[in-house]
Amino acid sequence: MDSGETDEPVTPAGRLFLRPEMNQIITCVAGQKNPIDVDAVKAEITKSVMITLPRFTSLMVRDRNGLEHWRKTQVDVDRHVIVRHEPVVDGVSDEDAVNDYLADLAVSTPLSFDKPLWEIHLLMAHKGTILRVHHALGDGISLMSLFLACCRRADDPDQPLTIKPLGTSSSSTNHHRREWVVLRVLRFVQLAWFSLVFILEFVFRSLWVRDKRTAVSGGDGVELWPRKLATARFQLDDMKTVKKAIADATINDVLFGIVSSGLSKYLDIRSPKGLKEGLQITGLAMVNLRSQPGLQDVSALMARNSGSRWGNQFGMLLLPVYYHKDGADPLQCVKRAKKMLDMKKQSLEAHFSYNVGNFVMSFLGAKYASLLNYRIVCNTTFTISNVVGPQEEIALVGNPINYIRANTCSLPHAITMHMTSYAGRADMQILVAKEIIPDPEVLAKCFEDALFELKEAAEAASKT
């Protein structure tokens, strides 16, 4: 199909997510307090900011050379809203039923290209609203910002939502205005050294270096395997208690400490003979590269001169965690995570991964760019992300929301984890290949137990 004069080319990152090897759909689910009013939802969509965004009102078309473009079209809301009245499965809670539905969507239900690449599923029997958006339209920051633009505070709809980054340090670091030259040189040397080391590691991972196989390893073709989905539930106050016990720690440090400890606990269950102490298990984390951290105002994201623009503006980091048997000090896993993340923050690894992807896409084409991304996923063990949500309880179309969760469709990883915070809680969706990890609820419990042990250790340390 030829592109029209008004067609907009798909960005290099968007083209990557349209490749069969990396075809990704982002899913955001809101569990609601009251029964869903279908007509009210449709009416809200027609007047929402979503219908004003170009990529939500455009078809993805290909020109005679096979290049992808966005072409403006009329949106028929009825085609985008899918209503399911019957229960997904009987005899389970609404949250578990929604998870079962999402697990099926992860591998079996692609988006249709004869309409804009988004849809909303309403699970009437379980009071669940599901927004599915193709990753080519934007990343998690863009799409969560859009979702929250359609919501209001439950206690006062006229007040704006409060969204505060969780990854900030527990104590501010005020640098003197006049820094010594030697300090600046040291920082430059650290930046250069860490960037060199981590970029070389990233390149090697893209080509041939891979994790040793464990009970949670995926690989080539695993993205097509059936899925199961479980939720690990955390209290933000518990994570903050752990954060305060370690100087300058962040919520992300605590999260990776939980992942390290939880995976070790689960591997002890699945591998009773034990694994080599210190075995590296490598994850991929998505890092927001916008000039402003956290969720953004949608109007700012759409502004052409904005440094925090709409789309896919993220890089990848390799984040190793290590298998350790239970030790005397649970806080050690957070300290190790903090040390690793501090070094990553002083490098250009995330920017390198983003720019090299654009370079390969532009000069070698989508096939080779997707091959590199596919290989680095196959050579690592898990994917993880963390998106900050509002601090207050919110409502969608006047219906209060009990929880907000997010995940994506399948990757070659056997385990992907996406944490979203909301109103004092943090829920981590754990999507697994069920033939490799048949009991994701046990894995979720391992993560929850890890935070409980960390909290106890932090409280004990504060008393000494």
CATH code of the domain covering residue 309:
3.30.559.30
Q: Is residue 165 part of a domain?
A: no
364/301 same-domain check: yes
95/236 same-domain check: no
127/251 same-domain check: no
67/215 same-domain check: no
32/134 same-domain check: yes
* Nearest by Cα to 46 from 74, 26, 17: 74
**Residue 265, SS3 per DSSP:** helix
| pLDDT tens series, the chain, 464 aa | 454 567 888 887 788 888 887 888 999 999 999 999 999 999 999 988 888 888 899 999 988 887 889 999 999 999 999 999 999 998 899 999 999 999 999 987 889 999 999 999 999 999 999 999 999 888 877 888 888 888 888 888 877 676 666 554 434 444 444 555 666 777 777 888 888 888 888 889 888 889 999 999 999 999 999 999 999 999 999 999 999 999 999 999 999 999 999 999 999 999 877 788 889 999 998 887 766 555 555 555 555 555 556 667 778 899 999 998 876 688 999 999 999 999 998 888 888 888 888 888 888 887 888 888 899 999 999 999 988 888 889 999 999 999 999 999 888 999 999 999 998 999 999 999 999 999 999 999 999 999 999 999 999 888 87
186/148 same-domain check: no
Single-letter amino acid, residue 214: T
228/334 same-domain check: yes
Q: Is residue 259 part of a domain?
A: yes
CATH number at residue 78: 3.30.559.10
Number of independent structural domains in the chain: 2
Among the listed residues 121, 135, 413, 418, the single catalytic one is 135
Q: What is the DSSP letter of 206?
A: H
207/84 same-domain check: no
Here the tokens at position 354 are: 């983003």
- Pairing type for strands 118-123 and 128-134 reads antiparallel
Here the tokens at position 95 are: 């949250």
d(CA 413, CA 170) in angstroms, rounded, equals 33
Full strand arrangement of the beta sheet holding 382-387: 227-235, 425-433, 415-422, 382-387, 280-288, 314-322
249/359 same-domain check: yes
Structural domain range at position 24: 8-153
226/354 same-domain check: yes
Residues 6 or more apart from 422 whose CB is under 8 A from it? Answer: 389, 390, 401, 403, 404
245/334 same-domain check: yes
d(CA 443, CA 420) in angstroms, rounded, equals 18
176 annotated active-site: no
Q: Is residue 399 part of a domain?
A: no
Q: Is residue 160 part of a domain?
A: no
d(CA 339, CA 88) in angstroms, rounded, equals 44
Q: Is residue 177 part of a domain?
A: no
For the packed helices 332-345 and 181-207, what is the interaxial angle rounded to 10 degrees? Answer: 100
Q: Is residue 199 part of a domain?
A: yes
Residues in the chain: 464
d(CA 70, CA 62) in angstroms, rounded, equals 9
* Nearest by Cα to 242 from 162, 331, 173: 331
Q: Is residue 176 part of a domain?
A: no
d(CA 417, CA 406) in angstroms, rounded, equals 9
R_g (Cα) of the chain, nearest Å: 22
Q: Is residue 67 part of a domain?
A: yes
Residues 6 or more apart from 263 whose CB is under 8 A from it? Answer: 216, 281, 321, 323, 446
149/193 same-domain check: no
Domain stops at, among 153, 174, 201:
153
Domain stops at, among 153, 168, 195:
153
